[in-house]
Amino acid sequence: MVNSQVNRRRYKDTKTRLFLHWTHQRLGRTRGCYDLDCPGFVQTCSDFIIGSPIKPVSEYGTNQFYITITIYKDIQSGNWWVKLQDKDLGYWPSSIITSSGATLTTLTWGGEILNSNLGGHHTATKMGSGRFPGDKFGKSSFFRNLALIDESNALRNPPDLAPLITSPSCYDLQVQKDTKSKFGTYFFYGGPGRSDKCP
């Protein structure tokens, strides 16, 4: 997984940071970690610091900034590479992938929050900008130019997406396609968390 997050527990602040996370299952055991906390991801580019704050970040109603993330499998080595802003950041070695012929069966994009409150109440944790997707560009968070890379390393438009929204009164999603614009297949997502509509 490669994305941005705010994680007070891990980083002791509320800054938006680039992060990596991976898990690996073998012989009934699961292992994995964040960023470079354990052997696994091999960073090859020093232009970016994994786990560091992202600057600049988009601001509500003003400038919007983009991060381009690509994950692809090198056909020769079997390593899974991460490209950030068109530079190879590093890779997960083929040795930590379950089998040498491993292929991707599920691809996901989206937002996630940790709801650690007990008692059935939602937290006021924002997802994305904290705005619902109906607020659109400049206000709602979004992913754009969604694509997948096939076995020959060619970019393909994703098939129909299957939205998964676990708490639609707290967070929502709107998927759209505009193959003639710079957005391609895209979606707005997010929400404020606990409110009068999200108990």
- pLDDT tens-digit series, residues 11-63: 999 999 999 988 776 667 777 788 999 888 999 999 999 999 999 999 888 99
The model's pTM: 0.85
Tokens linked to 68: 């381009």
Give the rounded distance of the alpha carbon of 61 from its chain centre: 22
Tokens linked to 2: 């490669």
* Region of poorest pLDDT, from 44-53, 77-86, 119-128, 161-170: 119-128
The answer to whether 134 touches 176, Cβ cutoff 8 Å, is no
pLDDT at position 102: 56
Q: With H, G, I as helix, E, B as strand and everything else as coil, classify residue 11.
A: helix
Dump pLDDT digits (tens) for 93-137: 988 876 545 566 778 899 998 877 666 677 888 999 999 999 999
Convert 22-40 to b/e letters by CB count within 10 Å (16 or more is b): beeeeeeeeeeebbeeeeb
Tokens linked to 149: 């890379």
Phi–psi pair at 8, nearest 5 degrees: -60, -40
